[in-house]
Amino acid sequence: MRPPRLDLAFSLTTTQESFRDELRAWLGANVPREREPDDEVGRFAFRRAWQARLHAAGWAGISWPVSYGGRGAGPIEQFLYYEELAWSGAPEIADTPGLLIMGPTLMVHGTDEQKARYLPRILGAEEIWCQGFSEPGAGSDLLALRCAARVDGERLIVDGEKLWTTLGPVADQNAVLLRTAAPVDGKRHTGLTMAIVPHEQPGVRVIPLRQITGEHEFAQIFFEGAVAPETIGAVGDGWSVALTILDAERADQGFTDHARLLSMLHEVRELTERAAGDGVLPQDAVAEIRHRTDALAGRCQLLAELNLGRALATERGERMGSWGSFLKLYWSELWQAVAELGLDVAGQRGHADRDWAREYLLSKAATIYSGSNEVQRGILATRILGLPRER
Protein backbone atom coordinates (compact mmCIF):
# COMPACT_ATOMS: atom_id res chain seq x y z
CA MET A 1 0.00 0.00 0.00
CA ARG A 2 1.30 3.48 -0.86
CA PRO A 3 1.70 5.90 2.07
CA PRO A 4 -0.84 8.73 2.28
CA ARG A 5 0.31 11.93 0.60
CA LEU A 6 0.50 15.17 2.49
CA ASP A 7 -2.16 17.79 1.86
CA LEU A 8 -0.44 21.06 0.99
CA ALA A 9 -2.45 24.20 0.23
CA PHE A 10 -0.76 24.72 -3.10
CA SER A 11 -1.96 24.40 -6.69
CA LEU A 12 0.33 23.15 -9.44
CA THR A 13 0.46 24.66 -12.88
CA THR A 14 -0.47 22.51 -15.87
CA THR A 15 3.22 22.16 -16.73
CA GLN A 16 4.09 21.08 -13.20
CA GLU A 17 1.26 18.53 -13.15
CA SER A 18 2.45 17.09 -16.47
CA PHE A 19 5.98 16.85 -15.10
CA ARG A 20 4.78 15.03 -11.96
CA ASP A 21 2.49 12.66 -13.85
CA GLU A 22 5.19 11.75 -16.39
CA LEU A 23 7.67 11.06 -13.61
CA ARG A 24 5.15 9.09 -11.56
CA ALA A 25 4.34 6.87 -14.54
CA TRP A 26 8.00 6.27 -15.32
CA LEU A 27 8.84 5.40 -11.73
CA GLY A 28 5.87 3.05 -11.55
CA ALA A 29 7.29 1.09 -14.46
CA ASN A 30 11.01 1.29 -13.61
CA VAL A 31 11.67 1.33 -9.86
CA PRO A 32 13.38 -1.98 -8.98
CA ARG A 33 11.12 -4.29 -7.02
CA GLU A 34 13.96 -6.31 -5.55
CA ARG A 35 15.57 -5.17 -2.31
CA GLU A 36 18.98 -3.61 -2.28
CA PRO A 37 21.77 -6.10 -1.54
CA ASP A 38 22.77 -6.26 2.10
CA ASP A 39 26.50 -6.09 1.42
CA GLU A 40 28.16 -2.71 0.88
CA VAL A 41 29.74 -3.50 -2.49
CA GLY A 42 26.52 -4.92 -3.89
CA ARG A 43 24.48 -1.98 -2.59
CA PHE A 44 26.75 0.56 -4.29
CA ALA A 45 26.62 -1.34 -7.59
CA PHE A 46 22.82 -1.49 -7.30
CA ARG A 47 22.59 2.28 -6.79
CA ARG A 48 25.05 2.94 -9.59
CA ALA A 49 22.92 0.93 -12.00
CA TRP A 50 19.82 2.82 -10.84
CA GLN A 51 21.46 6.19 -11.48
CA ALA A 52 22.50 5.03 -14.95
CA ARG A 53 18.88 4.04 -15.63
CA LEU A 54 17.64 7.44 -14.46
CA HIS A 55 20.16 9.15 -16.73
CA ALA A 56 19.28 7.04 -19.75
CA ALA A 57 15.62 8.10 -19.36
CA GLY A 58 16.46 11.78 -18.73
CA TRP A 59 15.63 11.71 -15.02
CA ALA A 60 19.08 12.37 -13.55
CA GLY A 61 20.23 15.91 -12.84
CA ILE A 62 16.79 17.34 -13.51
CA SER A 63 17.77 20.83 -12.31
CA TRP A 64 20.78 20.88 -14.65
CA PRO A 65 20.35 23.02 -17.79
CA VAL A 66 19.17 21.12 -20.85
CA SER A 67 22.44 22.02 -22.59
CA TYR A 68 24.32 19.98 -19.97
CA GLY A 69 22.04 16.94 -20.11
CA GLY A 70 19.42 17.94 -17.51
CA ARG A 71 15.80 19.02 -17.77
CA GLY A 72 16.13 22.63 -16.61
CA ALA A 73 13.64 21.94 -13.80
CA GLY A 74 12.86 24.72 -11.33
CA PRO A 75 12.55 24.47 -7.54
CA ILE A 76 8.90 23.32 -7.57
CA GLU A 77 9.70 20.54 -10.03
CA GLN A 78 12.63 19.56 -7.79
CA PHE A 79 10.26 19.45 -4.82
CA LEU A 80 7.88 17.19 -6.77
CA TYR A 81 10.75 15.07 -8.09
CA TYR A 82 12.07 14.19 -4.67
CA GLU A 83 8.58 13.54 -3.34
CA GLU A 84 7.82 11.09 -6.12
CA LEU A 85 11.15 9.31 -5.65
CA ALA A 86 10.35 8.85 -1.96
CA TRP A 87 6.73 7.77 -2.50
CA SER A 88 7.82 5.21 -5.12
CA GLY A 89 10.44 3.63 -2.87
CA ALA A 90 13.18 4.33 -5.42
CA PRO A 91 16.78 3.51 -4.46
CA GLU A 92 19.26 6.26 -3.66
CA ILE A 93 21.61 7.34 -6.40
CA ALA A 94 25.27 6.33 -6.25
CA ASP A 95 27.06 9.65 -6.80
CA THR A 96 25.31 12.30 -4.71
CA PRO A 97 28.42 14.54 -4.43
CA GLY A 98 28.94 14.47 -8.19
CA LEU A 99 25.34 14.98 -9.26
CA LEU A 100 24.22 17.54 -6.69
CA ILE A 101 27.44 19.39 -5.88
CA MET A 102 30.37 18.95 -8.26
CA GLY A 103 28.37 19.02 -11.49
CA PRO A 104 26.73 22.39 -10.70
CA THR A 105 30.11 23.73 -9.52
CA LEU A 106 31.81 22.76 -12.77
CA MET A 107 29.04 24.52 -14.67
CA VAL A 108 29.98 27.76 -12.90
CA HIS A 109 33.77 27.53 -12.68
CA GLY A 110 34.83 24.80 -15.12
CA THR A 111 36.29 25.30 -18.56
CA ASP A 112 34.39 24.18 -21.66
CA GLU A 113 36.74 21.21 -21.90
CA GLN A 114 36.08 20.22 -18.29
CA LYS A 115 32.31 20.45 -18.75
CA ALA A 116 32.44 18.29 -21.89
CA ARG A 117 34.75 15.79 -20.18
CA TYR A 118 33.17 15.42 -16.76
CA LEU A 119 29.46 16.33 -16.81
CA PRO A 120 28.13 13.44 -18.94
CA ARG A 121 30.09 10.92 -16.87
CA ILE A 122 28.75 12.42 -13.63
CA LEU A 123 25.14 12.11 -14.79
CA GLY A 124 25.45 8.41 -15.58
CA ALA A 125 27.64 7.56 -12.55
CA GLU A 126 30.45 6.50 -14.88
CA GLU A 127 32.85 8.47 -12.68
CA ILE A 128 32.36 8.97 -8.96
CA TRP A 129 33.35 12.24 -7.27
CA CYS A 130 34.19 13.28 -3.75
CA GLN A 131 35.22 16.61 -2.22
CA GLY A 132 38.33 16.98 -0.10
CA PHE A 133 37.46 19.59 2.50
CA SER A 134 37.68 18.36 6.11
CA GLU A 135 41.05 17.78 7.76
CA PRO A 136 42.29 16.51 11.13
CA GLY A 137 42.30 19.32 13.67
CA ALA A 138 40.28 21.68 11.48
CA GLY A 139 36.81 20.60 12.65
CA SER A 140 34.14 22.84 11.18
CA ASP A 141 36.69 25.57 10.47
CA LEU A 142 37.31 24.95 6.78
CA LEU A 143 39.85 27.79 6.57
CA ALA A 144 42.11 26.02 9.06
CA LEU A 145 43.17 23.57 6.34
CA ARG A 146 46.86 22.65 5.98
CA CYS A 147 46.79 20.44 2.89
CA ALA A 148 49.01 22.29 0.43
CA ALA A 149 50.22 22.24 -3.15
CA ARG A 150 53.00 23.82 -5.17
CA VAL A 151 52.73 24.85 -8.78
CA ASP A 152 54.78 22.72 -11.16
CA GLY A 153 54.24 24.07 -14.66
CA GLU A 154 50.59 23.50 -15.56
CA ARG A 155 49.98 21.07 -12.70
CA LEU A 156 50.03 21.07 -8.91
CA ILE A 157 51.94 18.73 -6.61
CA VAL A 158 49.84 17.97 -3.54
CA ASP A 159 50.91 16.99 -0.03
CA GLY A 160 48.69 16.66 3.00
CA GLU A 161 45.65 14.88 4.35
CA LYS A 162 41.87 15.00 4.13
CA LEU A 163 39.41 13.31 6.47
CA TRP A 164 35.74 12.23 6.52
CA THR A 165 35.64 12.32 2.73
CA THR A 166 32.21 11.08 1.61
CA LEU A 167 32.48 8.36 -1.08
CA GLY A 168 36.26 8.59 -0.80
CA PRO A 169 36.69 4.79 -0.91
CA VAL A 170 34.96 4.52 -4.32
CA ALA A 171 35.71 7.93 -5.86
CA ASP A 172 37.57 8.38 -9.13
CA GLN A 173 38.00 12.17 -8.86
CA ASN A 174 38.53 14.35 -5.81
CA ALA A 175 37.88 18.11 -5.76
CA VAL A 176 40.46 19.14 -3.16
CA LEU A 177 40.69 22.55 -1.49
CA LEU A 178 44.39 23.36 -1.12
CA ARG A 179 46.61 26.12 0.14
CA THR A 180 48.86 27.26 -2.70
CA ALA A 181 50.05 30.55 -1.20
CA ALA A 182 50.29 32.27 2.17
CA PRO A 183 47.24 34.29 3.26
CA VAL A 184 47.29 37.92 2.14
CA ASP A 185 47.13 40.38 5.06
CA GLY A 186 46.13 37.52 7.35
CA LYS A 187 42.95 36.79 5.37
CA ARG A 188 42.77 33.02 5.43
CA HIS A 189 40.39 32.73 2.49
CA THR A 190 43.13 34.01 0.17
CA GLY A 191 45.84 31.80 -1.33
CA LEU A 192 43.52 28.82 -1.78
CA THR A 193 42.99 26.71 -4.91
CA MET A 194 40.47 24.02 -5.85
CA ALA A 195 42.18 21.21 -7.73
CA ILE A 196 41.01 17.96 -9.32
CA VAL A 197 43.08 15.07 -7.98
CA PRO A 198 42.48 11.64 -9.60
CA HIS A 199 42.64 8.85 -7.03
CA GLU A 200 44.17 6.31 -9.40
CA GLN A 201 47.82 7.38 -9.05
CA PRO A 202 50.83 6.48 -6.86
CA GLY A 203 50.70 9.63 -4.70
CA VAL A 204 47.21 9.01 -3.31
CA ARG A 205 46.54 6.65 -0.42
CA VAL A 206 42.87 6.07 0.50
CA ILE A 207 42.04 4.49 3.86
CA PRO A 208 38.34 3.64 4.26
CA LEU A 209 36.85 4.60 7.64
CA ARG A 210 34.53 2.13 9.32
CA GLN A 211 31.28 3.65 10.57
CA ILE A 212 29.07 2.40 13.39
CA THR A 213 26.97 0.62 10.76
CA GLY A 214 30.05 -1.38 9.79
CA GLU A 215 30.12 0.33 6.36
CA HIS A 216 32.85 2.45 4.80
CA GLU A 217 31.22 5.47 3.17
CA PHE A 218 34.00 7.82 4.31
CA ALA A 219 37.75 7.81 3.91
CA GLN A 220 40.94 9.33 5.22
CA ILE A 221 43.08 10.32 2.25
CA PHE A 222 46.82 11.00 2.21
CA PHE A 223 48.46 12.93 -0.62
CA GLU A 224 52.21 12.37 -0.94
CA GLY A 225 53.46 14.16 -4.03
CA ALA A 226 50.14 13.51 -5.79
CA VAL A 227 49.58 15.21 -9.12
CA ALA A 228 46.62 17.52 -9.71
CA PRO A 229 46.61 17.95 -13.51
CA GLU A 230 44.01 20.73 -13.49
CA THR A 231 42.21 23.17 -11.23
CA ILE A 232 38.58 24.26 -10.97
CA GLY A 233 38.79 27.99 -11.45
CA ALA A 234 42.07 29.87 -11.33
CA VAL A 235 44.95 29.21 -8.95
CA GLY A 236 44.27 31.34 -5.88
CA ASP A 237 40.51 31.49 -6.47
CA GLY A 238 39.70 28.39 -4.44
CA TRP A 239 37.54 30.08 -1.82
CA SER A 240 35.13 31.35 -4.47
CA VAL A 241 34.81 27.80 -5.82
CA ALA A 242 34.38 26.42 -2.28
CA LEU A 243 31.49 28.82 -1.64
CA THR A 244 29.79 27.60 -4.83
CA ILE A 245 30.20 24.02 -3.61
CA LEU A 246 28.65 24.90 -0.23
CA ASP A 247 25.75 26.71 -1.93
CA ALA A 248 25.15 23.67 -4.16
CA GLU A 249 25.20 21.39 -1.12
CA ARG A 250 22.51 23.47 0.58
CA ALA A 251 20.44 23.91 -2.60
CA ASP A 252 19.10 20.33 -2.69
CA GLN A 253 19.24 19.45 0.98
CA GLY A 254 15.85 18.93 2.56
CA PHE A 255 13.51 18.90 -0.46
CA THR A 256 12.91 15.16 -0.15
CA ASP A 257 13.15 14.43 3.55
CA HIS A 258 9.53 14.94 4.58
CA ALA A 259 8.29 12.38 2.04
CA ARG A 260 11.02 9.89 2.87
CA LEU A 261 10.33 10.16 6.60
CA LEU A 262 6.58 9.91 6.11
CA SER A 263 7.08 6.75 4.07
CA MET A 264 9.11 5.34 6.96
CA LEU A 265 6.29 6.23 9.38
CA HIS A 266 3.85 4.42 7.09
CA GLU A 267 6.01 1.32 7.45
CA VAL A 268 5.94 1.75 11.23
CA ARG A 269 2.13 1.94 11.18
CA GLU A 270 1.85 -1.26 9.14
CA LEU A 271 4.38 -3.00 11.37
CA THR A 272 2.48 -1.89 14.48
CA GLU A 273 -0.87 -3.12 13.18
CA ARG A 274 0.58 -6.51 12.23
CA ALA A 275 2.17 -6.80 15.67
CA ALA A 276 -1.12 -5.86 17.35
CA GLY A 277 -3.01 -8.38 15.23
CA ASP A 278 -0.53 -11.13 16.07
CA GLY A 279 -0.76 -10.33 19.76
CA VAL A 280 2.96 -9.52 19.93
CA LEU A 281 2.31 -6.04 21.33
CA PRO A 282 0.00 -5.36 24.29
CA GLN A 283 -2.70 -2.76 23.74
CA ASP A 284 -1.08 -0.12 25.95
CA ALA A 285 2.13 -0.40 23.89
CA VAL A 286 0.14 -0.13 20.66
CA ALA A 287 -1.57 3.02 21.92
CA GLU A 288 1.76 4.59 22.84
CA ILE A 289 3.29 3.76 19.44
CA ARG A 290 0.26 5.17 17.62
CA HIS A 291 0.55 8.37 19.64
CA ARG A 292 4.27 8.71 18.82
CA THR A 293 3.61 7.96 15.15
CA ASP A 294 0.88 10.60 14.89
CA ALA A 295 3.06 13.21 16.59
CA LEU A 296 5.95 12.52 14.20
CA ALA A 297 3.59 12.62 11.22
CA GLY A 298 2.58 16.12 12.30
CA ARG A 299 6.24 17.13 12.36
CA CYS A 300 6.66 15.67 8.87
CA GLN A 301 3.73 17.81 7.71
CA LEU A 302 5.46 20.91 9.08
CA LEU A 303 8.71 19.91 7.39
CA ALA A 304 6.84 19.51 4.10
CA GLU A 305 5.42 23.01 4.40
CA LEU A 306 8.84 24.40 5.27
CA ASN A 307 10.36 22.66 2.25
CA LEU A 308 7.59 23.92 -0.03
CA GLY A 309 8.04 27.43 1.31
CA ARG A 310 11.71 27.14 0.61
CA ALA A 311 11.06 25.97 -2.95
CA LEU A 312 8.67 28.87 -3.57
CA ALA A 313 11.17 31.36 -2.15
CA THR A 314 13.94 29.93 -4.29
CA GLU A 315 11.72 30.20 -7.37
CA ARG A 316 11.19 33.90 -6.55
CA GLY A 317 14.95 34.33 -6.59
CA GLU A 318 15.44 34.53 -2.82
CA ARG A 319 18.48 32.94 -1.20
CA MET A 320 17.95 30.54 1.65
CA GLY A 321 20.80 31.94 3.72
CA SER A 322 20.76 31.09 7.41
CA TRP A 323 17.31 29.50 7.23
CA GLY A 324 19.07 26.49 5.75
CA SER A 325 20.51 25.97 9.24
CA PHE A 326 17.01 25.72 10.67
CA LEU A 327 15.92 23.14 8.09
CA LYS A 328 19.04 21.06 8.64
CA LEU A 329 18.47 21.18 12.41
CA TYR A 330 14.80 20.25 12.10
CA TRP A 331 15.00 17.34 9.65
CA SER A 332 18.09 15.76 11.20
CA GLU A 333 16.48 15.50 14.64
CA LEU A 334 13.20 14.37 13.10
CA TRP A 335 14.98 11.59 11.20
CA GLN A 336 16.53 10.37 14.44
CA ALA A 337 13.14 10.34 16.17
CA VAL A 338 11.50 8.40 13.32
CA ALA A 339 14.36 5.90 13.18
CA GLU A 340 14.22 5.38 16.94
CA LEU A 341 10.49 4.69 16.77
CA GLY A 342 10.98 2.23 13.92
CA LEU A 343 13.68 0.42 15.85
CA ASP A 344 11.46 0.22 18.95
CA VAL A 345 8.61 -1.35 16.99
CA ALA A 346 10.79 -3.68 14.91
CA GLY A 347 12.54 -4.86 18.06
CA GLN A 348 9.24 -5.91 19.61
CA ARG A 349 7.79 -7.28 16.38
CA GLY A 350 10.88 -9.31 15.52
CA HIS A 351 10.63 -8.86 11.73
CA ALA A 352 10.55 -5.92 9.29
CA ASP A 353 11.34 -5.27 5.64
CA ARG A 354 13.61 -2.34 6.56
CA ASP A 355 16.84 -2.76 8.51
CA TRP A 356 15.79 -0.43 11.31
CA ALA A 357 18.99 -0.94 13.29
CA ARG A 358 21.00 0.34 10.33
CA GLU A 359 18.53 3.22 9.82
CA TYR A 360 18.88 4.19 13.48
CA LEU A 361 22.66 4.15 13.33
CA LEU A 362 22.74 6.09 10.06
CA SER A 363 20.50 8.79 11.54
CA LYS A 364 23.00 9.43 14.32
CA ALA A 365 25.36 11.06 11.83
CA ALA A 366 22.70 13.51 10.60
CA THR A 367 23.20 15.93 13.48
CA ILE A 368 26.96 16.01 12.81
CA TYR A 369 27.52 16.20 9.05
CA SER A 370 26.95 19.33 6.91
CA GLY A 371 27.81 21.37 9.98
CA SER A 372 26.98 19.97 13.41
CA ASN A 373 23.69 20.96 15.02
CA GLU A 374 25.60 22.87 17.68
CA VAL A 375 27.09 25.00 14.90
CA GLN A 376 23.63 25.42 13.31
CA ARG A 377 22.17 26.62 16.61
CA GLY A 378 24.96 29.18 16.87
CA ILE A 379 24.16 30.44 13.36
CA LEU A 380 20.46 30.71 14.18
CA ALA A 381 21.19 32.54 17.43
CA THR A 382 23.42 35.19 15.87
CA ARG A 383 22.07 35.60 12.32
CA ILE A 384 18.34 34.96 12.75
CA LEU A 385 17.62 35.94 16.36
CA GLY A 386 20.30 38.63 16.54
CA LEU A 387 21.72 37.39 19.83
CA PRO A 388 25.25 38.48 20.79
CA ARG A 389 28.10 36.13 20.10
CA GLU A 390 29.52 34.18 23.04
CA ARG A 391 32.69 35.77 24.37
Catalytic residue among 249, 305, 318, 359: 249
d(CA 321, CA 75) in angstroms, rounded, equals 16
Of the candidates 104, 70, 224, 120, which has an alpha carbon nearest to the alpha carbon of residue 175? Answer: 104
d(CA 96, CA 82) in angstroms, rounded, equals 13
Q: Examine the residue annotation and report whether 249 is marked as an active-site residue of this protein.
A: yes
Contact 361, 215 (CB under 8 A): no
Q: How many beta carbons lie within 10 A of that of residue 266, not counting itself?
A: 17
d(CA 360, CA 338) in angstroms, rounded, equals 8
d(CA 293, CA 265) in angstroms, rounded, equals 7
d(CA 3, CA 203) in angstroms, rounded, equals 50
Catalytic residues: 249
